[in-house]
A and B are shown apart, each in its own frame.
Chain A
């Protein structure tokens, strides 16, 4: 009856490329992050004063052409300390979650894919790690290894591993049962290939979004630790330690605690915002009808 039109090619319409409006806030967040990074990276060559130079005659000085943001309780330039503080906060804030991302992400991927005894082992040891009080762990490491930026990064990174492991394992578990993974297996793909080509690209995105959240959280935690005196060794500046020092003169010069707090707040907010937006726009199902 009807004609056979088998060889007729299936028409595929041209994709419609559309611009997404990302919004003012997203671009503001990006600008802020870029500015903070540029300042932090180029701090040594910028015409800034030395952040540890004390000027006992100019303690808690108000804004002036010499000290744009005034000076702190020991007469150190506040602007310079903020910028150098950003160096510390960002270094720790980026490196620590990186440790979590790589170690936790890999463990979660392997645990979710291979299941079985390996998974039990990984999940069990993460539970043990989570049950250990983080502050005591931090105190112990600082007591044994001393107070330094690498040690601080290591502590925070290590403490972040379980969370990254969970995100990555949960994502892997749902993906590993999907047919495309079985299809790869049926093609004779090796475990490594399935992990790297099929699973990793799909797990990476939730992990990256979680990473940005981790950056925000780490900056805050680093601040709290420095505030408690467990962070960077004085006289080095970090936003957290600056808030801690500013606390002593909160009644006289509240700006000494307020300025680093604002810097930290806006940076953390910016990372969260970028993380959320990136997750939303890179989801391949978005825009599918």
Chain B
């Protein structure tokens, strides 16, 4: 096993709110090697965005962060702001869910792209422009030269997300974090954007984190998947192992809730009842217990710790793990 590019150790994020302290990320450990892809999956509000922001050191000011975020041998939590700023954008890049809000509406696409390149790569204006055109071509934008003069609102949602990806890729980052890059887009465009990300990731040998709430999105496109629930990673495994031998009832339920093409119309979907617990009111036992159909006894009193499964690299946090027969899908 090679040295991990990114290694998150015991990271916790707490936010003070009027309702009390909100633990958005609850002692998470993760690691990722260069050239590999990690999927982070979980319901809305489970702390996916906060975790990615903790990696980037872009948390809200009032947030309290603990733990270590080791990136290429240095602890980002303790890095000087100036060094951190140079690192972001250059080695660490991010693509957000809503491309409309992450692009500046009053600047042309060219200005935003060229400025980023100039700032981080120290190229002259002409070289930066050439590079912008290359990048726009790479992300599949027709007539890139004309696009440079346009404003974000003149592009469709899919176009804007491509441009955001071009900006993120502009400085050859070592790690790209894509926070729900396709949630705001429709299925065909989603497929295109995911293909684009996968292609660029392989070509550049980047490490990539894809955050999503849809297990279908990560299935064919990641090496490893971490399932988050209520701020904690509850199951983590190499992608094939996770889908074939999942142990966590939550993972099973998430997978089952996706409508499948094979099932006949009007078949009721196995929905997860209820909602995730209020993050300002931590429950004593397993946080999934109120919604879990396997919950019994211990589940309501003690927090299950992550334990190793049979496949290398598979960990899960559950007292009553489900045992799936080999090859049987949800």
| Direct A/B contact, Cβ within 8 angstroms | yes
**Cα separation A108 to B175 with both chains bound (whole Å):** 51
Asked if A289 meets B273 with Cβ closer than 8 Å, knowing A2-B252, A2-B253, A2-B293, the reply is no
Q: Report yes or no: B270 in contact with A3, Cβ–Cβ below 8 A.
A: yes
Q: Report yes or no: B274 in contact with A10, Cβ–Cβ below 8 A.
A: yes
User: Which residues of B line the A interface, CB within 8 A?
Assistant: 17-19, 22, 252-253, 256, 268, 270-275, 278, 293, 330
Asked if A289 meets B268 with Cβ closer than 8 Å, knowing A2-B293, A3-B293, A11-B274, the reply is no
Chain B residue at minimum C-beta to C-beta distance from A12? B275
Number of A-B contacts (CB under 8 A): 33
User: Taking each of A2, A3, A6, which has the highest tally of chain B beta carbons within 10 Å of its own beta carbon?
Assistant: A2
- Any chain B CB within 8 A of the CB of A287? yes
| 27 A-B pairs (CB sep. < 8 Å) | A1-B256, A1-B270, A1-B330, A2-B252, A2-B256, A2-B270, A2-B272, A2-B293, A3-B270, A3-B293, A4-B268, A4-B270, A5-B271, A6-B268, A6-B271, A8-B274, A10-B274, A10-B275, A11-B274, A11-B275, A13-B278, A16-B18, A16-B19, A18-B18, A18-B19, A287-B18, A289-B19
Q: Shortest 3 CB-CB distances between A and B: which pairs? A: A2-B270, A5-B273, A8-B273
User: Which residues of A line the B interface, CB within 8 A?
Assistant: 1-6, 8, 10-11, 13, 16, 18, 287, 289
Chain B residue at minimum C-beta to C-beta distance from A289? B17
Since A6-B268, A289-B19 are in contact, a sample of 16 more A-B pairs with Cβ atoms closer than 8 Å, ordered by chain A residue number, is: A1-B256, A1-B270, A2-B252, A2-B270, A2-B272, A3-B293, A4-B268, A4-B271, A5-B273, A8-B273, A10-B274, A10-B275, A11-B274, A16-B18, A18-B18, A289-B17
CB distance from B14 to the nearest CB of A (A): 14
Which applies to chain B's interface (DSSP): helix, strand, loop or mixed? Answer: loop
**Cα separation A276 to B88 with both chains bound (whole Å):** 38
CB distance from A286 to the nearest CB of B (A): 10
**Cα separation A6 to B269 with both chains bound (whole Å):** 10
A3: chain B residues at CB < 8 Å are 270, 293
**Cα separation A289 to B252 with both chains bound (whole Å):** 28
**Cα separation A5 to B268 with both chains bound (whole Å):** 10
CB distance from A177 to the nearest CB of B (A): 16
**Cα separation A289 to B276 with both chains bound (whole Å):** 14
B22: chain A residues at CB < 8 Å are 289
A2: chain B residues at CB < 8 Å are 252-253, 256, 270, 272, 293
**Cα separation A6 to B267 with both chains bound (whole Å):** 13
B293: chain A residues at CB < 8 Å are 2-3
CB distance from A281 to the nearest CB of B (A): 12
CB distance from A21 to the nearest CB of B (A): 11
**Cα separation A218 to B18 with both chains bound (whole Å):** 38
Chain A residue at minimum C-beta to C-beta distance from B45? A289
B274: chain A residues at CB < 8 Å are 8, 10-11
**Cα separation A1 to B322 with both chains bound (whole Å):** 13
Chain A residue at minimum C-beta to C-beta distance from B272? A2
Chain B residue at minimum C-beta to C-beta distance from A7? B273
**Cα separation A3 to B22 with both chains bound (whole Å):** 31
A5: chain B residues at CB < 8 Å are 271, 273
**Cα separation A7 to B278 with both chains bound (whole Å):** 22
A16: chain B residues at CB < 8 Å are 18-19
**Cα separation A10 to B275 with both chains bound (whole Å):** 8
B330: chain A residues at CB < 8 Å are 1
**Cα separation A3 to B253 with both chains bound (whole Å):** 10
**Cα separation A1 to B19 with both chains bound (whole Å):** 37
CB distance from B18 to the nearest CB of A (A): 5
B17: chain A residues at CB < 8 Å are 289
**Cα separation A43 to B307 with both chains bound (whole Å):** 80
A289: chain B residues at CB < 8 Å are 17, 19, 22
A287: chain B residues at CB < 8 Å are 18
A4: chain B residues at CB < 8 Å are 268, 270-271
B252: chain A residues at CB < 8 Å are 2
Chain B residue at minimum C-beta to C-beta distance from A11? B274
**Cα separation A8 to B273 with both chains bound (whole Å):** 7
CB distance from B283 to the nearest CB of A (A): 13
A6: chain B residues at CB < 8 Å are 268, 271
